[in-house]
Every structure is written in C-alpha cells, then in structure tokens.
Amino acid sequence: MAAEVKIGKNESLDNALRRFKRECQVSGILAELRKREHYEKPSVRRKKKSEAARKRKSVKK
C-alpha cells in the first residue's frame, strides 16, 4: 500500500511531488490515515456506517 515515485533524470522535484500526491490520493492512503488517526469503537463505527447508508438511501429517492 506504499506509494512509490521514481524521479526521472530531467524531472523537477515539484513534478515528482505532484505525482506522489496524486498517487497517494488515488490509492486512498490519506483517507485511510485520517480514518485511523484516532481509535474508533466498533459500536461508533457501526453507527457511522448505518448513518451513511441512511443518507445514501435518502439521496436516491
């Protein structure tokens, strides 16, 4: 799950950093990091999951 970027010979550091950030975002590393930043009890996790499902269901109508 590690993002890896190889820097080309004539590539600037800014371009490599931009590619790295994009790769991290696509792979979901930052979202996973934010989710695991603090411990969340299983009951709270279930409650959030059901709330999200309820929101999705109400949006579909």
- Burial code of 17-54, b = ≥16 C-beta within 10 A, e = fewer? eeeeeeebeeeeeeeeeeeeeeeeeeeeeeeeeeeeee
3-class secondary-structure state, position 49: helix
Task: Return per-residue pLDDT of the chain as tens, 61 residues.
Answer: 688 999 999 999 999 999 999 999 999 999 999 999 999 999 999 999 999 999 999 887 6
Give me the pLDDT at residue 3, please. Answer: 86
Give me the pLDDT at residue 1, please. Answer: 62
The domain limits of the chain are 13-60
Is the CA virtual torsion 42, 47, 51, 56 positive or negative? positive
The model's pTM: 0.62
Give me the pLDDT at residue 51, please. Answer: 96
